[in-house]
Structure 1
């Protein structure tokens, strides 16, 4: 999640956390906050009702943001067909050479994809990639033999989300420089994706609360009633 500053903590007196707002109103409220000197990242954060200690209640998934995330994404592909992957738009491609670099501490990429056949070798660095949310998995669509589609989706704005050990998760939905309409459409896509990731068989209240915020702003609580 976004790291919070002293300026953020000092700006919580707006009373915007007490009751949930409709998404459009919340985005408008966010746009009214003072902007930092850099283009702040905007995210929607969720507090979930599931038990993070139960593996059957793990929550993770992906969302295709209509307007992208505003970030230039560096994509790494684990494959033996290096030139093919690079011709499809991969920033880095390889197998044993990349695994060796990663074991030595190199992590200068945002998303890792893998072909099915390469996963046997990739599993050797699961302890490095997993805690950082970079380990390719079939469920997130990052283990695939359709590299062209996967690379295009990631570059266009596909974002992965995963619940942490406290039962919370956050989805980046853009930048403060986006229009309100772009942020609202991206946020709605994120809300729908998280709501649809409810674990099978879970009958309790899934989304306890959700907020929208930027790097330096206070958070605005969203009305979660329709996402229960």
Structure 2
């Protein structure tokens, strides 16, 4: 399977025209015989990619006092006053779009839910709670390898596995980490994959043969 995935990645890169930015590589898996009207059949899960995302992430931390100070020391964007978003939905939406992940001081979570929940929840970006003395640096390093599978209205998975600058074999390993989620989720594993594709940001999807 890894060889087929690596070939798909290579072909997706070769078929994509050069751009003036580094393109992402995504895996697209169309599933069959999965009734997503049943909530338990949907996949909503974070996955750690063995070789990471291949590009920097932006993390925002909602915190006060010591946690806020520690976050600033790490160069993270910090929100200390949630009220600044209370009457400005446009700014809240912009902030949500500009950041990949959110972390929040545990005792601020109720306030976060009230003021930012309607903006962050639909985008799958509700913050992870930060307990006192949270290992903030380690958590951020972990997020640098994390992607989210968010299956919504159709039985389709489309998720980042890296960038075009990463070696084909590393991208294949990252893709396999996504497929392993499907393998574990459903009784018939990869037999539920109707079709599988690799694509660059601006490129045409390249079909990958799935060995079940």
Q: Which moved more, 1:206-215 or 1:119-128?
A: 206-215
Paired position in structure 2 for 1:209: 195
Paired position in structure 1 for 2:142: 153
CA contact (8 A) 2:30 2:156 kept: yes
Q: Does 1:171 align with 2:159?
A: yes
Determine which of 20, 36, 39 is the counterpart of 1:52.
Answer: 36
Paired position in structure 2 for 1:33: 15
Give the gaps of 5 or more residues in structure 2. none
Q: Does 1:186 align with 2:174?
A: yes
Q: Deviations over 1:197-225 (max 9, x none)?
A: x26xx668543332111122221222334
Note closer, same or farther for the CA distance 1:153–1:130 as it changes in structure 2 (3 Å cut).
Answer: same
Q: Does 1:96 align with 2:96?
A: no
CA contact (8 A) 1:86 1:92 kept: yes
SS at match of 1:118: helix
Hey, what's the Cα distance between the residues in 1 that align with 2:165 and 2:102?
Answer: 27
CA contact (8 A) 1:88 1:151 kept: no
CA contact (8 A) 2:42 2:152 kept: no
Determine which of 54, 61, 65 is the counterpart of 1:77.
Answer: 61
Q: Deviations over 1:153-172 (max 9, x none)?
A: 11x32112211212222111
Greater fraction helix = 2
CA contact (8 A) 2:198 2:207 kept: yes
TM-score under structure 1 length normalisation: 0.73
Aligned residues: 197
SS at match of 1:86: helix
RMSD: 2.7
Give 1:193 deviation, angstroms: 3.5
Hey, what's the Cα distance between the residues in 2 that align with 1:195 and 1:99?
Answer: 41
Q: Deviations over 1:37-87 (max 9, x none)?
A: 232211001223433332222211112223322332110122233112333
Paired position in structure 2 for 1:115: 105
Give 1:194 deviation, angstroms: 4.3
Q: Does 1:61 align with 2:45?
A: yes
CA contact (8 A) 1:85 1:93 kept: no
Hey, what's the Cα distance between the residues in 1 that align with 2:54 and 2:47?
Answer: 14
